[in-house]
């Protein structure tokens, strides 16, 4: 049986990309999976079918992570359906890239509100349930650019760096309640975001990566599952880079 059999996991942005890979990885370990996404359509239906095919329960909920009240509704629905929430993965995120001098206030606010405020919203809503349970795991999906920066991504880099600060502080606040809070910082992953790269941009990127390749979403998901597993019960406040050696 899986190492997380019958655990309840909530994944934000779980309908596609890294979020879907994370949801499927948890289902493979026997966890029941709820995921939220800003819109539910074919991608969400496909994700639900793939999760249920692994013999576990699944629930999809529409939610804009920027909306504080809507976040609480989602968490309450998951708690009602499954009676508890053992693991939270804050994965939902967006990019709106541009150089600082060309970046609009709207694009700054949208990225910070989605990536950073969204993480705050879900952490706050879920943590009260984990405190009453006196156990839980929170894994925040940050990025290597939150550690090293990246030209043209001042908003994204700031949001992901903020997630790291949130992770470390929340880990200290919740450690005495047997709740571990960690972050995963992926490098460049094969998703719809990297599909937009030109051959020249991709080659320039690979030069910086010692392993000379990008990651597959499943390689990020495996690290998330590890941090949620009993093997990581004495790890908290850490940032694990999954980046092929980009940040050394």
Please list the active-site residues.
156
Q: How wide is the angle at C-alpha 41 spanned by C-alphas 46 and 197, nearest 5°?
A: 80
Q: How many CB atoms lie within 10 A of CB 101?
A: 5
- The structure tokens 């597959």 sit at 216
Q: Hey, what are 130's tokens?
A: 């984990």
Residue 148's beta-bridge partner residues?
A: none
Whole-number Cα distances in Å, 169 to 10, 90, 133, 186, 240 = 21, 16, 20, 20, 16
Q: How far apart are CA 16 and CA 205, in angstroms?
A: 23
Over the range 162-192, which residues count as b (16 or more CB within 10 Å of their CB) and which as e? bbbebbbebbeebeeeebbbbbbbbbbbbbe
Exposed (0-12), middle (13-18) or buried (19+): which is 77, by Cβ within 10 Å? middle
Backbone angles phi, psi at 157, to 5 degrees: -60, -45
């Amino acid at each position: 049986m899986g190492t997380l059999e019958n655990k309840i996991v909530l994944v934000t942005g779980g309908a596609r990309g890294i979020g879907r890979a994370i949801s499927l990885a948890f289902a493979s370990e026997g966890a029941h999976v709820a995921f939220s996404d800003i819109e539910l359509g074919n991608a969400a239906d496909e994700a639900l079918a793939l999760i249920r095919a692994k013999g576990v329960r699944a629930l999809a909920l529409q939610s804009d992570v920027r909306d504080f009240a809507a976040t609480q509704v989602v968490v309450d629905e998951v708690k009602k359906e499954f009676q508890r929430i053992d693991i939270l993965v804050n994965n939902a995120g967006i990019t709106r890239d541009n150089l600082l001098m060309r970046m609009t206030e709207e694009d700054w606010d949208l990225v910070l509100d989605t990536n950073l405020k969204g993480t705050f919203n879900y952490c706050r809503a879920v943590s009260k349930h984990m405190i009453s349970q006196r156990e839980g795991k929170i894994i925040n999906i940050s990025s290597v650019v939150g550690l090293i920066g990246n030209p043209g991504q001042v908003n994204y880099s700031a949001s992901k760096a903020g997630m790291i600060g949130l992770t470390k502080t929340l880990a200290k606040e919740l450690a005495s309640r047997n709740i571990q809070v960690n972050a995963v910082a992926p490098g460049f992953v094969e998703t719809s975001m990297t599909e937009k790269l030109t051959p020249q941009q991709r080659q320039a990127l690979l030069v910086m990566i010692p392993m000379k390749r990008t990651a597959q979403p499943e390689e990020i998901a495996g690290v998330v599952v590890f941090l949620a597993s009993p093997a990581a019960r004495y790890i908290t406040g850490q940032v694990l880079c999954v980046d092929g050696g980009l940040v050394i």
